[in-house]
């Protein structure tokens, strides 16, 4: 084929399953479900239920409080059929969309129950100070573009996931946040976050925030890194500091929610 040989460490299936399907609530949900659910929520549910899921009296998603339902099956039915005699309308969501919404609702509860204990203001100070997180990440336009943007991380990630990520970054790196290391035909080594890839080309943002688009046929080597360039904060943060940081991250809901 003439393409550059590409070295990839394939994770064991067990590890992959764990990465892709963190256990949250009653079911195993894909992290992509939670993300998709978050977007569906913001476009369809947000106006009535509010950013915290607590705008309807008697309903509070973050506390897992519902009026008529408890199981996922109940929720699936209510999302599809609505609640007659109330403002909750029936919907045309597909089964997958309904499951994604439920994954997100359950993740809201999970976030609230395990990480409401910290102090968000102290967490912000840690992120910007001791943690030096902005040297790689960005929050609402502040910081570096090299790593994943954290501006809406509180809307799309659960607390437990964020804790794990901070303590053991290598264990939970998502495919869309992989870094790559390439060596060009001229011998230049460039490392950056993969923005897009197809059979013949690769697009990255490097650690100097430069955008590159490569033809793979022009590369001498191309390695998709399965380890994270993020350091572990195990032992660097106290458990109290970790709770503060996660509590702050959970307040980050993106521009749409501000």
Interacting residue ranges for another protein, rule: CB under 8 A: 1-2, 8, 10-11, 13, 16-17, 20-21, 27-28, 30, 32-33, 73, 76, 94-96, 98-99, 175-176, 178, 194-200, 224
For another protein, the closer of residues 116 and 148 by Cβ is 148
For another protein, the closer of residues 55 and 191 by Cβ is 191
Q: Report, in Å, the least distance between residue 87 CB and another protein.
A: 22
Q: Report, in Å, the least distance between residue 13 CB and another protein.
A: 8
For another protein, the closer of residues 186 and 198 by Cβ is 198
Q: Report, in Å, the least distance between residue 77 CB and another protein.
A: 9
Residue 145 is encoded by which pair of tokens? 């573009």
For another protein, the closer of residues 42 and 62 by Cβ is 42
For another protein, the closer of residues 144 and 226 by Cβ is 226
Q: Report, in Å, the least distance between residue 187 CB and another protein.
A: 25
Per DSSP, what are the bridge partners of residue 65?
60
For another protein, the closer of residues 124 and 157 by Cβ is 157
Return the C-alpha torsion angle 133, 139, 141, 144, nearest 10.
20
Q: Report, in Å, the least distance between residue 26 CB and another protein.
A: 9
40-47, long-range: CB < 8 A, 24+ apart: 40/93, 40/97, 40/100, 40/101, 40/104, 41/101, 41/104, 41/105, 42/155, 42/256, 42/257, 44/91, 45/101, 46/257
Please, is 135 exposed, middle or buried when counting C-beta atoms within 10 Å of its C-beta (0-12, 13-18, 19+)? exposed
Q: Report, in Å, the least distance between residue 134 CB and another protein.
A: 23
């Amino acid at each position: 084929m003439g393409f550059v040989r590409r070295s990839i460490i394939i994770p064991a299936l067990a590890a992959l399953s764990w990465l892709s399907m963190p256990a949250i609530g009653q079911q195993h949900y894909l992290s992509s479900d939670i993300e998709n659910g978050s977007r569906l929520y913001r476009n369809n549910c947000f106006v009535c239920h509010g950013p915290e899921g607590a705008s309807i009296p008697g309903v509070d998603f973050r506390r897992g409080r519902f009026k008529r339902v408890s199981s996922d099956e109940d929720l699936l039915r209510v999302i599809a059929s609505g609640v007659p005699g109330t403002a909750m309308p029936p919907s045309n969501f597909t089964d997958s969309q309904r499951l994604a919404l439920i994954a997100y609702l359950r993740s809201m509860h999970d976030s609230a129950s395990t990480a409401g204990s910290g102090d968000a203001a102290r967490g912000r100070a840690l992120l910007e100070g001791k943690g030096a997180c902005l040297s790689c990440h960005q929050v609402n336009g502040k910081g570096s573009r090299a790593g994943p943007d954290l501006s809406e991380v509180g809307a799309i990630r659960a607390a437990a996931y964020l804790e794990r990520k901070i303590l053991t970054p290598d264990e939970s790196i998502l495919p869309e946040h992989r870094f790559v290391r390439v060596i060009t035909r001229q011998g230049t080594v460039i490392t950056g976050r993969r923005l897009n890839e197809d059979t013949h080309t690769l697009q990255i943002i490097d650690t100097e925030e430069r955008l590159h688009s490569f033809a793979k046929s022009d590369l001498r080597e191309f390695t998709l890194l399965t380890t994270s360039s993020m350091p572990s904060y195990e032992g660097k943060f106290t458990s109290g500091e970790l709770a503060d940081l996660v509590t702050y991250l959970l307040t980050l809901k993106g521009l749409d929610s501000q």
